[in-house]
Amino acid sequence: MQAVSIAALDNLCAHARDFDQLFSLAMAVALIVKTVLILGLMTLPSVYSEDAPKCENTECEKEDVSSLLQSRVHASSESRAEELECTFVAMMEEDNSIGEKDSTDDGYMWGECKDDSEVTHYLFDDDELEKFGPGDKIKLTVSAVSGGNLPTAPNLPWQSDNVPLYRIVSVIAHESALLTEEDHSLTDGATATKEVDVIMMICNYKNQKAFVTDEDKVMNSFYQKLGEKLYSSQGRGSFADMLSASSYGRFTAPRSKGKVVTVTINKNFPFQGCPYNDMAKDCKQATRDQTNFDPDDFTFREFFIPTQGSGCRWGGLANVGCGHYSRIPRKGACHAWYRSDRPFVRAHEIGHNLGFLHAGGDWGTGSQYVEYGDPQASMGASYTFSSFNAASRYQGGFLRKVAGEAVEFQPDFNTGNSGTFKLQSLSKPLGEQGSDAVAVFWSCPKCVPKVSSHSSNVGGNLWLQFRGDEGYSAVTLDSKFQNKVYVHLARKYTSKYYGKDTEMWQVMGKGDSYRPPNSETTVTVEDIVGDLATVTIKAGKAPTTEAPTTGAPGACTDKKSGCPRWAKLYCTGRWSSWMATNCQKSCFAGQACPPPQATWILGQPGKSCTEACESAGKSCSDINLYNVASAEDVQGVAGKAGKTCKNSVGWAYKFSPSICTSSQCCGSGSCTGWCTFGNRGERSCSETTGGHHSRLCPCI
């Protein structure tokens, strides 16, 4: 492989594929097309439904085996290892269901590198990517993902380029971009204002114009203030106006810093694949040739392209983390591509530039947790133009850990303690009289994300915030989401440039109490008066009067009336994790709840846990199998089986937890002895391994 030597983030992109429902008659077939695309890109929309499985026959289950989610977590890492040097940036692709309530897993990340010959190399999404920041120079040992486990969704970039998708086996060298770039972060107590400079390029081709040709419309979509009706008659604001409010004036996007140009590329618009990098390169060069501007003089570069006949199926694409507040100003940092100019889509895509992923939740309905399920956050919310939530503002660098902004509660789980805080409305300027903070957060090392595609990322922080009934908390939000306290999980992350984002776990009014699962804390809203909410957090064991969530030992319970019927098909397979939580009585009749004590053993390569336990004269316990969800967990059960994990990785095979025991693991044996713990809800005792792994099995 050739070494990479390119500037920070130029020509590197992260993809946020956000379908915008504006595409008139051509997209009127979305109800049909969407179903086809979802089947190709991810699991069926109902796969992790909190209501019930909707697929109730074996044939229906078989039709879903091609999902992207299944592909991405079972990708083979057994091809021959090789070395790769590159400059790194995290990537994001979303399919065509942005913000829709049936979208269970819309996000897909990968790394992208370019060498001196302008050859692009793609890296599989796993925990290794969080070790790197945008612009980092890295030298890796990689192996090509191969076989039937490669993602099969249409128009993935490595498919269009006909090149391998690589998994990181090991890191040989890592040079952080922060060693050569100034970190522009605010220091505690400091004040600073940073400005977004952006060039908006309307990219016409010889045979087709961009979907939007009105330069004023493009500018107004980005800059109109709340209540102005420059872009549309709704007056819902814009990214620039919302950013200023969300950052308390620390991060602004003045109209004087924005430029819009219309250029013509002397080529026909490509109808094969979706060569987004070529589009950006050609449009930037046309801008240099036909205007007085050089796009590389701007931090944020936006491309508005044609929509008809191409292989592109998204509403927006964006680099992730390239424009994080701490690294601004930074010329030539970010790209964003659009097939929609709606303010929500642009705020969402630039949000990816700032380092945010998706705000998940259950839409406040107590039902299915989905990728875009937070109805009050710009990184979730089906076209509801709101603002960034408190946890994102903190990760983004413009909400600080100081009194009056974000304060930390430190729970004492041994002896118990409590704290009471007055929170000001999220949409009010800092310094509301009588307030202690905008938000309060505390560590939750055992919290398990409820959005299924993130369930293996155990840990993070819990956040409390309060939305009143003014500004971006009021303009489009339903009244049931106003004057409410919110509990969010900020998923565990290691890089502020592209965090794992948040999940809305509870919406609370005056007098409400909530005990977040696995947190050993209880939150109570004591009062809501005007723009202040008084909240109390108590840490410690749950009161003895609180009903156990899993039932008393020997008394498994069902949470859903349909459990006896669903148990005939779904206690094993891809629904197993959901069923283990909601249908314990029907699935585990005769077993104790909580799970019985199990003897952990290491099975033979290629064998199932059912076979391994039967060989020991015991039975495999599915319910114990589901509870291994972290590096600490897998190391613990490996120890019980008399084994040691040389490394613990979140690779989510159907047969996890496991140990790669072959001398040819990762092709060269470089990951022999590694333990896997990732869990996408598809484990069962009956799963077999591919031969290189041996299963860790709970036998009773």
Write the secondary structure of 643-674 as one string of H (helix), E (strand) and C (coil). Answer: CCCCEEECCCCCCCCEEECCCCCCCCCCCCCE
Q: Percentage of the chain surpassing pLDDT 90?
A: 40
pLDDT of residue 586 exceeding 70: yes
* Out of 29-33, 157-161, 356-360, 437-441, least confident range: 29-33
Q: What's the whole-number mean pLDDT along residues 145-164?
A: 72
pLDDT of residue 48 exceeding 60: no
Which among 267, 255, 195 has a CA at the least distance from the CA of 221? 255
Q: What's the whole-number mean pLDDT along residues 75-80?
A: 48
Task: Mention every residue, 6+ apart, whose C-beta is less than 8 A from residue 182.
Answer: none
Task: Mention every residue, 6+ apart, whose C-beta is less than 8 A from residue 362.
Answer: 50, 368, 369, 370, 373, 450, 504
User: Quick one: pLDDT at residue 92?
Assistant: 65
User: Quick one: pLDDT at residue 146?
Assistant: 74
pLDDT of residue 35 exceeding 90: no
Question: Which stretches does DSSP call E strand in 438-543?
Answer: 439-443, 460-467, 484-491, 502-508, 513-514, 521-529, 532-539
Distance between CA atoms of residues 240 and 254, nearest Å: 7
User: Quick one: pLDDT at residue 79?
Assistant: 57
DSSP 8-state symbol, 272: S
Distance between CA atoms of residues 691 and 533, nearest Å: 57
Alpha helices per DSSP H over 162-290: 215-223, 239-246, 276-290
Task: Mention every residue, 6+ apart, whose C-beta is less than 8 A from residue 700.
Answer: 591, 596, 597, 598, 599, 613, 618, 619, 620, 621, 624
Class of domain 194-355 as given by CATH: alpha beta
When pLDDT is cut at 50, 70 and 90, the band that residue 302 belongs to is very high
Q: What's the whole-number mean pLDDT along residues 618-636?
A: 82
Phi-psi sector, 147: left (phi>0), alpha (psi -120 to 50), beta:
left
**Cβ atoms of residues 92 and 15 within 8 Å:** yes
DSSP assignment of 577-642 = HHHHHHBHHHHSTTS-SSPPP-EEEEPPTT--HHHHHHHTT--B-HHHHTT--SHHHHHHHHHHTT
User: Quick one: pLDDT at residue 108?
Assistant: 64
pLDDT of residue 45 exceeding 70: no
**Cβ atoms of residues 645 and 659 within 8 Å:** yes
User: Quick one: pLDDT at residue 2?
Assistant: 37
Which among 465, 468, 482, 439 has a CA at the least distance from the CA of 530? 468
Q: Give, for 694, the enclosing helix (H) or strand (E).
A: strand 693-699
Residues 246, 249, 254, 258, CA torsion sign: negative
**Cβ atoms of residues 319 and 356 within 8 Å:** no
Q: What number of helices (H) and strands (E) belong to the chain?
A: 15, 28
Q: 68 or 172: which carries more pLDDT confidence?
A: 172
Q: What's the whole-number mean pLDDT along residues 357-370?
A: 80
Distance between CA atoms of residues 329 and 192, nearest Å: 12
pLDDT of residue 283 exceeding 90: yes
Distance between CA atoms of residues 427 and 376, nearest Å: 12
Q: What's the whole-number mean pLDDT along residues 637-654?
A: 89
Cis geometry, peptide bond prior to residue 329 (ω within 30 degrees of 0): yes
Q: 108 or 85: which carries more pLDDT confidence?
A: 85
Tokens representing 347 are 């705020």
pLDDT of residue 239 exceeding 90: yes
Mean pLDDT: which of 13-27, 360-374, 506-520 is highest? Answer: 506-520
**Cβ atoms of residues 608 and 688 within 8 Å:** yes
End-to-end CA distance of the chain: 50
Tokens representing 609 are 């846990």
**Cβ atoms of residues 199 and 301 within 8 Å:** yes
User: Quick one: pLDDT at residue 534?
Assistant: 97
User: Quick one: pLDDT at residue 544?
Assistant: 43
User: Quick one: pLDDT at residue 329?
Assistant: 87
Q: 630 or 342: which carries more pLDDT confidence?
A: 342
Tokens representing 168 are 């990181």
**Cβ atoms of residues 223 and 258 within 8 Å:** yes
Q: 629 or 255: which carries more pLDDT confidence?
A: 255
Q: Give, for 688, the enclosing helix (H) or strand (E).
A: none
Q: What's the whole-number mean pLDDT along residues 24-40?
A: 29
pLDDT of residue 95 exceeding 60: no
Residue pointed to by tokens 């349909």 = 562
Instruction: From residue 407, give the alpha-carbon distance in Å to each of 401, 436, 442, 467.
Output: 6, 8, 9, 17
Task: Mention every residue, 6+ apart, whose C-beta is less than 8 A from residue 270.
Answer: 278, 279, 310, 311
User: Quick one: pLDDT at residue 41?
Assistant: 25
- pLDDT 10s digits, 499-514: 888 999 999 999 999 9
For the entire predicted model, the pTM comes to: 0.69
Q: Which residues pair with 398 in a beta bridge?
A: none
Distance between CA atoms of residues 627 and 610, nearest Å: 17
In a 13 Å sphere around the CA of 324, the CA atoms on its Cβ side amount to 30
pLDDT of residue 276 exceeding 80: yes
Residue pointed to by tokens 């600073």 = 192
When pLDDT is cut at 50, 70 and 90, the band that residue 162 belongs to is confident
Averaged pLDDT score across all residues of the chain: 78
Of how many residues is the chain composed?
Answer: 700
pLDDT of residue 577 exceeding 70: no
Q: 548 or 94: which carries more pLDDT confidence?
A: 94
